Amino acid sequence: MPDSAAERQQKLVNELRVSANLMTLDAGLFCIVCTPSRAGNAQTGLPGVRISLPPGAASRPEAVTISTFRNDGWLGPFGDAALVRVAGSPAHVLVTVYQAPDAPDGGAPNIQVLRLADAASLAAASAFAEGAAPRVMDMVAHIQGLGDVGGMLGDHLGEAGSGRWIEGFAIAPTAGVDVADIEYQGVLGRDWLSPWVDGGQFCGSRGMALPLLGFRLRLRGAAAQAFECRYSATFVDGSTAGPVTAGEACQSEGLAALESVLITLAPRGSATVTPPAVKASPPKASSQKAPPQKAPPQKAVRQKAEPKKPDPKQPNPKKRTRGPAKSK
């Protein structure tokens, strides 16, 4: 028997378990943290949390800014966060939790609200929030007191020793690496990182006075096969980290705010080219004649005189001649 219209409608529409809370936030900067849920489902993305402005005049959309680390605005079931900035007087924020119909009791994520800055500190930070628009470069970072600052791969982005933290960054290589082959994360706390962000997308925040505590980067696809990536960083407490290889988190021991980064890409298997040895040229013949060389002096050889042969015609003086015999 074919399904009835009511049964077909029931299959098309699934009722979720939804709960909502209306919060009143004073003027300032807040971080709303969604802790990991034991009922998290990667396929459905539930339980999920949505932070929005409620209907009505109390929402004050002109004074409330909500920033999430995901482009779709959701807070996922495996730990996520959002930044809420309220200017002027207090305002309302609506926090809605969506769970699966068969979600167990107690499976909803725990929501925590952390105050990062009061109204006075926020006003001081806002005075420096306006910066130049991102330029067409390999990287751009939003730096405290400076706004958006661009840089190239292989150069320092941010100033070591300046004490100004990096609030967010984006990487989009202009040559050699496809922007789709790079992704990165921001370090938000100990063992707490933002979701992976695709190349060209902004990771972090702008003008919220909330620094990143480090970052992680990796290559994929053709870029991972062709290039080796290494990066290092300095932090506002004077510490340094790296260089580390792609895929490793670059952060300080004390989780200080990120101050500057240095990212390098080198072709795999590249080696330093040694210039060929210069061969010595043969000596050239001189056009001048060499002076005649003197023969070394020869030692005189003393030869022994040969004994003279006696002349038979002359008497030998050494031989005595006997006279005639005397007669008696």
For residue 204, name the pLDDT band (cuts at 50, 70, 90): confident
Question: Residue 259: is its pLDDT beyond 90?
Answer: yes
Identify residue 27 by its one-letter amino acid code. Answer: A
Q: What percent of the chain has pLDDT over 90?
A: 19
Where do you find CATH 2.60.40 in the chain? 14-123
**pLDDT score recorded for residue 231:** 95
The least confident of 8-12, 175-179, 236-240 is 8-12
Cβ atoms < 10 Å from Cβ of 44: 13
The two tokens of residue 121 are 């500190």
Collapsing DSSP to helix, strand or coil, 2 comes out as coil
DSSP letter, residue 58: G
Identify residue 289 by its one-letter amino acid code. Answer: K
Collapsing DSSP to helix, strand or coil, 186 comes out as strand
Q: Does domain 14-123 have CATH number 2.60.40?
A: yes
Whether residue 202 contacts residue 217, with contact meaning beta carbons closer than 8 Å, is answered with no
If phi over 0 gives left and psi between -120 and 50 gives alpha, with beta otherwise, what is residue 88?
A: left
> Does the CA dihedral 124-189-83-180 come out positive or negative?
positive
Q: Where are the beta strands (DSSP E) in 164-319?
A: 166-171, 182-189, 192-193, 197-198, 203-204, 214-219, 227-235, 240-245, 250-251, 258-267
Question: Residue 256: is its pLDDT beyond 80?
Answer: yes
Residues 190-202: tens digit of each pLDDT: 888 888 888 888 8
DSSP letter, residue 181: G
pTM for this model (two decimals): 0.47
Calpha distance 28→197 (Å, rounded): 27
Q: What is the mean pLDDT of the chain?
A: 76
Q: Which of 186, 183, 163 is nearest to 260 (CA)?
A: 163
Count CA atoms within 13 Å of residue 168 on its CB side: 22
Residues 130-171: tens digit of each pLDDT: 443 334 578 888 888 888 788 888 999 998 999 999 999 988
